[in-house]
Amino acid sequence: MKLTLNIWRQSNGQAKGKFETYILEDLDSHMSVPEMLDHLNDKLIKNRKDPVAFDSDCREGICGQCGFVINGHVQSPEEHATTCQTHLRSFKDGDVLYLEPFRAKAFPIKKDLCVDRTAFDRIIAKGGYISVNTGQAPEANGILIGHEEAEKAFDAASCIGCGACVAACKNASAALFTSAKISHLSMLPQGKIEAKKRAVAMVEQMDKEGFGACSFTEACEAVCPQSISISNIVTMNREFWKSR
């Protein structure tokens, strides 16, 4: 199949970027979007041109590394999909695509389609863990946790840190990501002990990183590949205000 790719090229964070056009006529509809870029990069390298920089690792929707904007869709035109889970069969032969990086002040562009998401790491470093001594592995039924609570905690814990929620938000808010990390721990007995301290430290770091405020548009939930619920933001706000 044939696709015309308009790809954002920017040599570094300070340089001025622009779209450059590439026409690929020998694509297979079963290729994923990263495989399409691999194919383009093979050609660019053969012609001694600079390959397109983009992130990816697992290519199975697990690691959250890939992700850019395709024709205005954060990550993918498919619902709740990562970029690596998007295949060329999602497009029509002859389509014109625009690929550009996530746009958010707290995610500065590194090169081409790559952005720096280490702001997320710094939020996690402020409390996305349990530091109390939990001792030896307890007997499985020693601490009973209700099924509903366990399921909710597990759902929140499935956030892959991709940053699509930030890119989709008009305020570039990281509330969905931060709340998922706060609430999955606050729902479980071992995590409850530090819940208030954790919420304050992580929310303060989120604000310090320059993410915007949440205005509950639900744009984040709509694009999240893990379908993380915005009810986690309510939990985060409750934990935060309880500590004040």
Residues in touch with ligand FES (CB under 6 A): 56-59, 61-66, 82-84
Interface of this chain with ligand SF4, residues 164 to 193, rule: CB under 6 A: 164-165, 176-177, 180
Output the six-digit token pair for 80: 């709740």
| Antiparallel, parallel or unpaired: β 96-100 and 3-9 | parallel
Query: Is residue 163 involved in binding ligand SF4 (CB under 6 A)?
Result: yes
Q: Which CB, 74 or 214, lies closer to ligand FES?
A: 74
Q: What minimum distance in Å lies between the beta carbon of 236 and ligand FES?
A: 24
Is residue 224 near ligand SF4 by the rule CB under 6 A? yes
Least gap, CB of 220 to ligand SF4 (angstroms): 6
Q: Which is nearer to ligand FES, 102 or 240 (CB)?
A: 102
Q: Tell me the β-bridge partners of 74.
A: 69
Residue type, 113: L
Choosing among ligand SF4, ligand FES, none, which partner's interface includes residue 15 (Cβ < 5 to 8 Å by kind)? none
Residues 6+ apart with CB under 8 A from 119: 106, 107, 174, 209, 210, 211
- Rounded Cα distance, 30 and 24, in Å: 15
Q: Is 103 left (phi over 0), alpha (psi -120 to 50) or beta?
A: beta
**Quick count: other Cβ atoms within 10 Å of Cβ 123?**
26
In the list ligand FES, ligand SF4, none, the entry touching 165 (Cβ below 5 to 8 angstroms by class) is ligand SF4
Residue 63 contact, options ligand FES, ligand SF4, none, Cβ 5-8 Å cut-off depending on partner type:
ligand FES
